[in-house]
Every structure is written in structure tokens, then in C-alpha cells.
């Protein structure tokens, strides 16, 4: 939909799927921050992001059993979403008749890079849509350092408000060429927040915002009902290193090294903040953060997917222990012999097997 309307607006080709860059970066002074191959930040604040991953359109090959389309959420800030819905059930190749759970997904990239239009996310979410028999909304949010936190969190909440409008009748949200209405396939009373890495951080912080006892925001989103969060290798940090951060040596092509992690946090956090900021460090978030004590939050069930060879492994396990100690329903799964973001970035036989396991676990969590 457009801003302030109720009907879905399909994405105009003029909307830039890429994030801001510059054709002549040398005119902007020396590089002050860099993650090789992903982002360079210059002295005047310009961020340059090489196209290391192909950007693709929402189209999918015929016969995949999934249809996809982009839609505008906020044209002014270039917040948009890629929508996925199955056209048949994976097991029986039968047409969908019942409404399906809705997963709102946030991509990874340290809050600084990434897009729903990246080919790796497009392929992963199309496959997850079919395998888990769900609808998916993959959100394009504003990136740091141009838009430091809490911009990504605010965009996540804006996406939920947009979904509320899609859920309210009358809604003329139709796929092009007369395809079945996307909103008529979604069960808005079964919404799950999900994401990988920084996207999992967004999903959790958004769930915590909605779970605050002194917040009426969850009620304001009705008829949306949040049933759970699905966190894939959530990107948390802290000033004190965990054992896996100190001891797990990452290969040169790793999706996340300790140095890259530190750089992402420097670029994403508000000026003057360190890695013990509540948005970064879940160990401090519920002692000094805006949401209050973890015990007091009405959080939905949470699933945390952890990679054995990920530097975030121990921090993710620490997060799960804190959730369990506070009486929250939390399910953790550790995937052996794989690293950070394996499900979107690795094509190895081991990673492909673990990805299939992950999708099965996600489907079971949603349907439990």
C-alpha cells in the first residue's frame, strides 16, 4: 500500500533495490571503516557497498510452487517488502485451501549490508515458504551507518503496522494478472518474527518492545497476533569476550569474523555507545534497557538456531540460558560443523543437509 492507505502497492521499478553508494568515492576523503568486500565508510560519512551478492527480481521459475512479489511500505524511506506465498503444498502438490502462518523476516548483514533482493535470501525464503508451508514477508530496512539503530527497529515496527492495514477489510491486495489475493492466504492471528544474524537481533528487540508490560503497541497491531520468534544465529555482542569469540578461528571467507563483528557494531550503534548497549548485549538489556526486567516481559515462545563453528555460538547459548532462567519458553538447536549464516551463504553438502534440518525444525516450531 502507499503511505496512509490500505491497499497494497506493488513495488515501482523506479524504487532502488540497491542501497546508497557513490560512483566516485575518492572525492569523499580516506576510508575510516572497512569490512573487505562488503562496505567502506569514508571520512565524510559516505558508505560504499560493492555488489558482492547479486540483486534479483522477485520472479521465480515456473513449477517452484511459490509466487513472489515486491510491495512498497514507505516510499519516502525506501522501506519495502518481498512477499512469498506457496501455490501448492510441498508434500502433496495440492492447492492451498487453509490460511497459512505468516513469518515476518529480517535479513542479516550486521545492520550495514544486505537486502531481501540478494539472491541468497530470495532462494532461501522461497524454499522455506514451500517447505514450511507458510507465507513470508521479507523486510527491506534502512542500513547503518547512514541510519544507525534504532532505525532498523523502527522500520520493523512500521512493517508490522503496514501488515495490520493489509489484514483489515476491505483490502484489495491482489497479485498481478488476477492471481489469488495474497492477504487471503495469510493467517494474521499466527505471526512469527524471524531473521538471521542482525535480522534476528531486530526480530528479538521488536518482540521485546511488543512484550513490554507498559506498552499498548501490541494491542494497536490487532488483528495481528505474535505467536513466536525464530532467531537464526542472532547477532548479539558485549565488551567481555565469550570463549567462542576468543577461540574460534574463522576461515578467510567466513561470513562473520570477530573484527567484522566489532566494525558492524561501531557503525550500527548510536554515537558514544559500546557493545554493552542494551540493543547489543542481551546480558545487560534487561537490567538497564528500556523494556524492563526479562522476567516481566510477556515474550512469546522463541526458537534459537545456533551454529557450532560460529563465533556467536556461546553468546547465543548465553542468551538461551537467560531466557530459560527468566521462565521464558525457549528452544535452542545447535547445528554441527557449520558456521555463521550457513543456510544462506554456504553451498557445501554439509551446509545443505543442515539447512534442510533447519527448515524442518522451523516448520515444527511454527506448527507446535
- Catalytically active residues, by annotation: 197
All 3 cell numbers of residue 262?
A: 566489532
Cα separation of 27 and 104, whole Å? 39
Q: Which H helix or E strand runs over 129? A: helix 119-132
SS3 345: helix
Residue 49: phi and psi, rounded to 5, are -125, 105
Pairing relation of β-strands 330-335 and 186-196? unpaired
3-state helix, strand, coil in the chain (%, to 5): 35, 20, 45
List, edge to edge, every strand of the sheet that includes 79-86. 66-74, 79-86, 135-140, 100-106, 186-196, 226-232, 302-307, 330-335
Q: Which H helix or E strand runs over 192? A: strand 186-196
Q: Which H helix or E strand runs over 193? A: strand 186-196
All 3 cell numbers of residue 294?
A: 526479562
Residue pair 312/255 in contact (Cβ under 8 Å)? The answer is: no
Residue pair 181/173 in contact (Cβ under 8 Å)? The answer is: yes
Residue pair 210/221 in contact (Cβ under 8 Å)? The answer is: yes
Amino acid at each position: 500500500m502507499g503511505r496512509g492507505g490500505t491497499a497494497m502497492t506493488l513495488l515501482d521499478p523506479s524504487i532502488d533495490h540497491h542501497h546508497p553508494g557513490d560512483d566516485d568515492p575518492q572525492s569523499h576523503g580516506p576510508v575510516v571503516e572497512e569490512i573487505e568486500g562488503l562496505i567502506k565508510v569514508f571520512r565524510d560519512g559516505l558508505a560504499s557497498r560493492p555488489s558482492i551478492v547479486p540483486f534479483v527480481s522477485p520472479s521465480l521459475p515456473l513449477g517452484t510452487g511459490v509466487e513472489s512479489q515486491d510491495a512498497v511500505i514507505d516510499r519516502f524511506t525506501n522501506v519495502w517488502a518481498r512477499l512469498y506465498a506457496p501455490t501448492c503444498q510441498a508434500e502433496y502438490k495440492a492447492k492451498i485451501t487453509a490460511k497459512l502462518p505468516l513469518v515476518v523476516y529480517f535479513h542479516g548483514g550486521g545492520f550495514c549490508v544486505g537486502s531481501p533482493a540478494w539472491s541468497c535470501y530470495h532462494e532461501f525464503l522461497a524454499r522455506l515458504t514451500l517447505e514450511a508451508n507458510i507465507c513470508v514477508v521479507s523486510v527491506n530496512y534502512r542500513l547503518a551507518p547512514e541510519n544507525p539503530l534504532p532505525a532498523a527497529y523502527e522500520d520493523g515496527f512500521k512493517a508490522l503496522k503496514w501488515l495490520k492495514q493489509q489484514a483489515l477489510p476491505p483490502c484489495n491486495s491482489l497479485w498481478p494478472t488476477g492471481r489469488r489475493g495474497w492477504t487471503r492466504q495469510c493467517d494474521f492471528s499466527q505471526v512469527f518474527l524471524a531473521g538471521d544474524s542482525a535480522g534476528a537481533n531486530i526480530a528479538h528487540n521488536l518482540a521485546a518492545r511488543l512484550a513490554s508490560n507498559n506498552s499498548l503497541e501490541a494491542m494497536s497491531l490487532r488483528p495481528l497476533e505474535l505467536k513466536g520468534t525464530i532467531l537464526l544465529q542472532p547477532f548479539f555482542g558485549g565488551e567481555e569476550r565469550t570463549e567462542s569469540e576468543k577461540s574460534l578461528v574463522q576461515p578467510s571467507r567466513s561470513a562473520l569474523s570477530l573484527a567484522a563483528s566489532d566494525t558492524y557494531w561501531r557503525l550500527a550503534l548510536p554515537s558514544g555507545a559500546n557493545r554493552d548497549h542494551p540493543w547489543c548485549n542481551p546480558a545487560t538489556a534487561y537490567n538497564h534497557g528500556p523494556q524492563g526486567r526479562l522476567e516481566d516481559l510477556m515474550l512469546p515462545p522463541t526458537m534459537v538456531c545456533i551454529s557450532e563453528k560460529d563465533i556467536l555460538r556461546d553468546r547465543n547459548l548465553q542468551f538461551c540460558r537467560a531466557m530459560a532462567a527468566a521462565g521464558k519458553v525457549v528452544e535452542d538447536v545447535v547445528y554441527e560443523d557449520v558456521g555463521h549464516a550457513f543456510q544462506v551463504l554456504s553451498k557445501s553438502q554439509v551446509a545443505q543437509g543442515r539447512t534442510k534440518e533447519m527448515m524442518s525444525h522451523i516448520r515444527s516450531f511454527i506448527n507446535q
